[in-house]
Structure 1
């Protein structure tokens, strides 16, 4: 006697399991391909940044350096021996007279806000990175250009008021002092950025409408390793001070509100 199961499929008709296996195989292949692409992409970026001289580094630097970067000056023989910080000073008017603030160490304020935090935000190195980049561009100028940019960039108008120097006229004046024009353009762009930053930060810090700003870079060389516990310093701090700049435009209300929050977060006031 032959027993048949009720509803058994006819010969040659699939129940669906082979199709499910094929679908699962396709998904696994796609997942493996995506994983491989991610690993290869990460390896490419890692190699580009960790090899000191890589032909691919400039191509990926702009896109990835805010999130993934490596500075080789933490290793010998080119270890960084000087700590640098950005300090700003601002001026505002009271009863028509210019008032001058004390120097404010922006880098120290940012570092203080991150102390004791295992994974601090990269924004806590904002002014430190700016000081390093600005100084590098400054050092690429000729000696005469470096002397000039440490002076003021403010001009007097026909009605006796003060205004920022015209960018094109300033560029031509500095270009006549020799040096690389491309290096000069790179420096002036960063200088303009620092004007905007110092104006916004200083205005929020002192709660004033800032009319002029200037900055200096402090160079602090710690004692050598064998003298690390000595109270007496082996070398005094030094400064590279730049002249007064007048912002072409005041920070917008939106920017001012952002920096008000930054100052409140950093200083608690």
Structure 2
């Protein structure tokens, strides 16, 4: 009896008695995409590690600016919910404006942008990132504000509501006597905060009506840990960074319409 298996195109290969499957090699562009994906993955892991870990000289290899530009706003994270220095306070960002109404300039009341945004994420299993913007802006502004001297903080509290106001503000800092801390970091936060306040004001009262804006940042600590079991314990009073009136500013490429669609719809939803 002939027990030899029938040959087939897949198994009848020269020089081989075993079954084998010939697979085509990946083309050059497939290899290039795979290589690029590996590099991107390695960079993301390394950047995340450097961003989360305590500060060290390793951060200066890509530089702090490069890390911040990559990690923020999409990948920002930290271990600040854990010891030894967990988050122990809330930041709030409030906005008001002077608007034109019936031919006169009217000062509006304060609106908590933070309350509006937090309502987007409360009881939401898939919270949008738009729900934490004001808290991040407020945190950055107050941290930079607290590093200023008392004289510099007094300048921040002045009104700068004319064209080129940021340059006038820098000149006011430069005119101070004595050895004062650098204001470069604060001016970056001032610009961001005013631009955010501008979008909030435009969304609520309309871009055509807003003449100038003012924002107010506050921080309120939670009940101290040692008083956690005291039913009568009260949260400490909030602290504020005092700022004056500002002329509205917008960043290139911003869409006031998209911001207004998201913010105003939520603002109207939570109104009593």
Residues 56 and 117 from structure 1, CA distance in 2 versus in 1: closer, same or farther, beyond 3 angstroms? farther
Deviation at 1:100, TM superposition (A): 1.1
Please, what TM-score do these two structures have when normalized by structure 2? 0.75
Compared CA separation, residues 97 and 74, structure 1 to 2 (3 A)? same
1:231 Cα deviation after fit: 6.0
Instruction: Provide structure 1 residue ranges, at least 5 long, that are not aligned to the other structure.
Output: 155-162
**Counterpart position of 2:73:** 66
The 1:229/1:173 distance shift into structure 2, 3 A limit, reads same
> What's the Cα RMSD here?
4.0
- Paired residue total: 254
Q: Report deviation, 1:201.
A: 1.2
- Measure, in 2, the Cα distance between the counterparts of 1:67 and 1:51: 18
Question: 1:11 Cα shift?
Answer: 9.2
Moved more, 258-267 or 128-137: 258-267
Following TM superposition, by how much is the alpha carbon of 1:229 offset from its aligned partner in structure 2, in angstroms? 7.4
CA distance in 2, matches of 1:10, 1:94: 89
List per-residue Cα deviations over 1:21-77 (Å, max 9, x = no partner): 5738x9x99999778656544432332122112434424332123232333432222
Residue matched to 2:135: 128
DSSP 3-state at the match of 1:73:
coil
Structure number with higher helix proportion: 1
Deviations 1:154-185 (A, max 9, x none): 3xxxxxxxx345443431221222424xx413
- TM-score, normalised with respect to structure 1: 0.75
Asked if 1:90 is matched to 2:97, the reply is: yes
Once the two structures are overlaid, the 10-residue window that deviates more, 163-172 or 255-264, is 163-172
User: Structure 2 stretches of 5 or more lacking a match?
Assistant: none
Q: Report whether the alignment pairs 1:112 with 2:119.
A: yes
Instruction: List structure 1 segments (4+ residues) > 4 angstroms apart after TM superposition.
Output: 5-14, 28-39
SS at match of 1:188: helix
Q: What SS class does the counterpart of residue 130 from structure 2 fall into?
A: helix
Alignment check: 8 A CA contact 1:88 1:104 kept = yes
